[in-house]
Structure 1
Amino acid sequence: MKKNILLLFCFAASAFVSAQNSSMSFGIKGGYTLSNMKFFNTQLDSKSYFYVGIVAEQPLSSKFGLQAEVLYTQLGGKNSYPGEQLVGNEIVNTGDMKFDYKLNQIQVPISVKYYFIPDLSASAGMNFGFNISSKTKADTLFGEVSSNSTNVKALNLFPFLGAEYKINEQFFIDARYNFNFFETNKKDAVPTKIGFLQAGVGYRFN
């Protein structure tokens, strides 16, 4: 995993150098991630987080461009189950047990963009999510318990569709939805899928 992260940073440095010597644009971006997680067909409560990263775009023509990004964010979901305990001959409700599932990722979205007009574009691509860590936090009768998950794939794939609007030559806003077409857990683990919305702002240096 450390090797993959190093390669991502090398990609980022290469993109920056290229941007200074070609028509490629380079910038930074950040915003809001809202993820929806499913176990089998059970929908968990959504999870909110931020994302931040860098972006590079290479024009292919007046209408098309190729964009690559490196982002950090967190995906996951939340749910709760009623806690019960046998006291004598009675089953006593001890309150809800709450679970919080967290997947910290370095994501590399790569997309093709189509410009309807110079300031407005649509995009389609694939988001490659490299898992840094996967944890489950449980709030139970016996206190808070946190554990690492070994069932999550090292690499998750999220196809996405998005749109971008340029406010001016430097600032832009964008949004995309990453679809849950592929399972995030390993083959023999609980079938798990995650879809998520990302929306934010960015600044291009050139």
Structure 2
Amino acid sequence: MKKVLLIAAVAVFGLSNVNAQEVSFGPKAGVNFATLTGDIEDADLKVGFHIGGAVEIMFNEKMGLQAELLYSLQGAKDSYSSTQTSGGVTYTDKEEAKLNLSYINIPVLFKYYVTNGFSVEAGPQVGILASAKSEYEYTESIEGGGFDETYSESGEEDIKDNISSVDFGLNFGLGYKLDNGLNFGARYNLGLSNVLDVDGTDDKWHNGVIQLSVGFMF
């Protein structure tokens, strides 16, 4: 948390010293479609969310910077299912595993308004790991031939010690802001750091997150 406050303070101090024509700020929130790329198999999109605030500092009518402080739930999931029938008996197995990674993200984006209200944006992001948990759900069922049985189990494990505490990435996105301050955004976060922090392995995992947001600027 001290690292987060320090980075946020440096960002605010730096942005407060630019020659700004207009400053606006407000809340934002939205949905994440997250996964992990690299040396990882069968990593599917996992739905999460992000929530926080943003400040936009315009240098002129076209160009500006936007800094944000967001809580973001990311990670990936893997689903498996199989069904087999033999002798009138159907065997079904279902399993879903999720890697839930929670970050405090601080993106700083350069914004350029192409037309009135419509903008493109790009810039770096630092993320501080808040929590990391692995969970699974397993169900096995047998039906037919006089059988009707279902077995299920689930579990959760804290794996924060195996995940890097800091994540660096780049954001690329589009935005649209109405005259009343209501705004919408679509962004992709390309993770540059290795998420995995396990001794004895050279595997590398990287965050990849699609974000759809709605916010309001005062």
TM bracket (short chain): 0.7 to 0.9
Question: Do the aligned residues in 2 keep the contact of 1:82 with 1:97 (CA within 8 Å)?
Answer: yes
Q: Which runs of 5+ in 2 are unaligned?
A: 83-90, 139-150
Which of these two proteins has the greater Rg computed from alpha carbons?
A: 2
1:14 Cα deviation from its structure 2 partner: 7.6
Counterpart of 2:141? Answer: none
1:154 is the counterpart of 2:169: no
Deviation of 1:131 (Å)? 0.7
In the alignment, what sits opposite 2:211? 198
Amino acid at match of 1:198: Q
Matches within 5 A, 1:41-56: 41-56=40-55
Q: Is residue 36–residue 43 contact of structure 1 (8 Å, CA) maintained in 2? A: no
Q: Distance in 1 between matches of 2:47 and 2:174?
A: 21
Question: 1:87-106 alignment to 2 at 5 Å?
Answer: 95-106=93-104
Question: Could you tell me which residue of structure 1 aligns to residue 108 of structure 2?
Answer: 110
Aligned to 2:72: 73
Kept in 1, the 8 Å contact 2:105–2:127? The answer is yes
Shift in Å at residue 43 of structure 1? 3.9
Aligned to 1:169: 180
State percent identity of aligned pairs: 28
AA paired with 2:55?
A
Structure 1 gaps of 5+ residues are 84-92
**Aligned-pair RMSD on alpha carbons?**
2.9
Write the letter of the residue equivalent to 2:156: S
CA contact (8 A) 2:163 2:198 kept: no
The answer to whether the 8 Å contact 2:108/2:124 transfers is yes
TM-score by length of structure 1 reads 0.80
Q: In the alignment, is residue 144 of structure 1 matched against residue 131 of structure 2?
A: no
TM (norm. structure 2) is: 0.76
- Aligned partners of 2:165, 2:21: CA distance in 1, in Å? 34
Separation (CA, whole Å) in 1 of partners of 2:215 and 2:81: 43
Matched residue count: 192
Q: Which residue of 1 aligns with 2:87?
A: none
CA contact (8 A) 2:104 2:130 kept: yes
Give the SS at the match of 2:214.
Answer: strand
Residue 126 (structure 1) shift: 1.2
Instruction: Give the partner amino acid of 1:200.
Output: S
Distance 1:14 1:180, change over 3 A: closer
